[in-house]
Chain A
């Protein structure tokens, strides 16, 4: 397996490996007569060997479409214009061109096929979906090895092994023999990178390669990509919405918005001195661990999608510091008196299927949440945090242990008692689209708990819905809209409005902002904090994002393998973690600052060594 630095020639003459000029992508209208959708409106950027170029933007910015245009993998309905020239450097491209590069826009299928895999490879977002579920990992990697050349069976097997090893998979034989469903997301993503490397391409397109992964796993994947750049000189086109990932890995950054490039700069410069307002707003919207936008949470964070000008409050960057905030202090006072939620040695065990041992999803957790307090529950996927949330919300019966919510013991409660308890508990889930009935208007969805649990008149319900929409900063005319007519952030705010409609004692929020773009997330979090301060409900806030937790939570509990490994005030736990696991979790989360991220990386490497 060759590991020579291939980017050198290209770097020497300074010419980019991939030059994109005036790229446009439009999609045919679904119905005749409707206008075409413009996804990319004439962008120009380049990709250089040995460097990671990040295409950054929020959903709908055209970043993924641009990347797929490079590989010629857009759907048939796409109309691509402009130019994408791939530099020839002696190998890979077999097309009969005699100029300096191969034009990929409008290229013949054979040319594109020759480029794909051999010259430019793809690492895509969802590791489970990217693999064919019915074929082994080894078989699929081997297919890539042999896609463009004849390789003997034995040699193929050896190459597959070597590739898997190179991406940090220590038992390549087992991995090769496994089917996708038998592996974790991290393993799949490493194997996917291995497959992308199979034909020793000069460039890799990595489309949100870590979005679906836990932070600790993400760190490993980013390390692999970094190593490829450094050791192989592979050019990487990184598509991401996560400024932390950009700060961690990118050399060059292309910021996209609504199909346009708003800024194209070296990463260091961009983070240090963003020239464009949108870039600045985007960076400001990123919640950062140890750095919070506003201490009191009263300021509405900037919405970079609104205007070029920075929104009020966005410029204020005061560290929240490690001091206990006013809110927390208040709740601490009332703490001992009357915890709204009390869990005692809670256990949830799922029976093992087909002879496997039982799964202890929650394995002896005890915790309390005081009135007006927000408890952040953090942990990686599979740690049991969602299960715990369901128990508190009354959606799941624990196997053993005591659950007392608002003074009622769940185990003792009658059917009616449980029902009464349910009206005092609000729930917000990650995906608002799936929790709102698509055939119901916003008003009907928000009014549903009111009609179920109260005797309010129709007028009173209508008035209350108006108040609730106002409370989540939504215009009253949205009441008659349907969910598909709203944006993701608006939908989530409606879900919050519905959850607090009955003025609950407890709110369980399970990853309420994970599916949202950063700017939207900032706005939703602000709404949440404001509501919480006003209504004073206790909240179990479940998230994998430590920065978000730091921003909204008074206390934090860290879950790992069904247990709470550490808990305390947000300031204590996130700034001075006692447990190694908590430290690893904090260390792995990238911050949107290349300098600091490099330091953190170095510290982490030192710790590992």
Chain B
């Protein structure tokens, strides 16, 4: 791929990204317009007179039509926005994803504060489930038909269907309260103490990983069985390579390709907020923020987080495509 093609590839992708984000943000606005709840109600005060409600709506920009609101949002991403006038004006610098009137912070700032938490949970858990899932799937494939294989797959089915809130709570009960091995809740920033950071995250990582590892184990097993039955695996065996090497060097390299695709997308989604896990483990991540924003009808925050999450997924897609090119020489044209 030469530079010109890379450029064209990127241009197309960026255009897609922009389009996707525009549609996502517009739909979010549309949904809120259709809802009977009024986002300005929380900013109205107590008691709430119609005049005060109108004032709050005007200040938040909710008196404009939904299309105008959406357009203001889009423009704000590039130019920043200012709410109110004079000494009390609130400025939301670019890239402004909106301003939460309830939390009195630009959405961008809030996301910046919460994202490291979600990223800590998501990336750690993702690495864990990738390792566990691929390992278990490989073992099951190599030992297929044995009791070990059946055991692993039964565990995987259980894992896939287990509700994460319940697993999280059971994890806290067992390892947190009964065994007192790990902290039951809370988040410590990495910068404060890397050890405490990891210590507090162990349980959320395990709970999230347990659930996803099941899916990866099943996928890996299926792919691995196919790879081990392929002609190239037979060629590798015919060379006199030990089975271990056939599995690791030949089959696994090929199995990795579809796994990585799924992994990238899953990670992208998870980075947008591990809603339930964050809630159970009292982690101040993006998921918890979104949950709160929805329940308090904090429209700007909901839109901002939704757009950010959508962006993450689109970016994850892009990264997957690029990694794909590295892993699979056939798509490197």
Contact = CB atoms under 8 A, between A and B. Distances in A.
Interface of A: 71, 73, 75-76, 109, 113-118, 121-122, 124, 126, 129-135, 140, 143-144, 147-148, 179, 181-182, 192, 195-196, 198-199, 353-355
A114 B240 CA distance: 6
A132 B250 contact: yes
Contacts of A196: 238
Interface stretch (B90-98, B124-132, B163-171, B226-234): B226-234
Nearest to B2: A355
Nearest to B145: A76
A75 B5 CA distance: 45
A339 to B, nearest CB: 42
A135 B240 contact: no
Nearest to A195: B239
Most buried by A among B2, B239, B333: B239
Interface in B261-288: none
Interface of B: 1-2, 4-5, 145, 229-232, 234-243, 249-250, 253-254, 257, 327-330, 333
Given A132-B250, A134-B254, A354-B1, A147 B241 contact: yes
Contacts of B234: 73, 122, 124, 130
A181 B329 contact: yes
Q: Which 4 A-B pairs have the closest CB atoms?
A: A117-B240, A122-B238, A129-B231, A179-B329
Nearest to B234: A73
A355 B232 contact: no
A115 B240 contact: yes
B232 to A, nearest CB: 4
A134 B238 contact: no
B241 to A, nearest CB: 6
A71 B234 CA distance: 10
Contacts of B254: 132-134
Contacts of B2: 355
B175 to A, nearest CB: 40
Nearest to A126: B231
B255 to A, nearest CB: 10
A353 B332 CA distance: 12
Contacts of A75: 229
Nearest to B327: A134
A203 B77 CA distance: 70
Contact of B239 (A117, A126, A354): A117
A71 B1 CA distance: 41
19 contacts: A113-B241, A117-B239, A118-B240, A121-B239, A124-B238, A129-B231, A130-B234, A132-B236, A132-B250, A132-B254, A133-B330, A134-B330, A140-B235, A143-B249, A147-B240, A181-B329, A182-B329, A195-B239, A199-B240
A462 to B, nearest CB: 43
A354 B333 CA distance: 7
Contact of A134 (B242, B328, B333): B328
B231 A124 contact: yes
Given A353-B333, A354-B1, A116 B229 contact: no
A190 to B, nearest CB: 15
A63 B5 CA distance: 49
Contact of A143 (B229, B241, B257): B241
A131 B239 CA distance: 12
Given A133-B254, A134-B253, A134-B327, 19 more contacts: A113-B240, A115-B240, A116-B238, A116-B239, A117-B241, A122-B238, A129-B231, A129-B232, A130-B231, A130-B232, A131-B235, A132-B236, A135-B253, A143-B236, A143-B249, A147-B240, A147-B241, A181-B329, A199-B239
Most buried by A among B2, B237, B240, B241: B240
Nearest to B144: A76
Nearest to A118: B240
Contacts of A148: 240
B141 to A, nearest CB: 12
Contacts of A133: 232, 254, 328-330
Contacts of B239: 116-117, 121, 143-144, 147, 195, 198-199
Given A129-B230, A354-B5, A73 B333 contact: no
Contacts of A181: 329-330
Contacts of A76: 145
A71 B333 contact: no
Most buried by A among B231, B242, B243, B253: B231
Contact of B237 (A73, A114, A353): A73
Contacts of A73: 234, 237-238
B256 to A, nearest CB: 9
B253 A132 contact: yes
A189 to B, nearest CB: 12
Given A124-B234, A355-B2, A134 B329 contact: yes
A199 B241 CA distance: 12
Nearest to B257: A134
Contacts of B333: 353-354
Contacts of B241: 113, 117, 143, 147
Contacts of B237: 73, 116
Nearest to B243: A109
A593 B265 CA distance: 60
Given A113-B240, A132-B253, A134-B327, A122 B4 contact: no
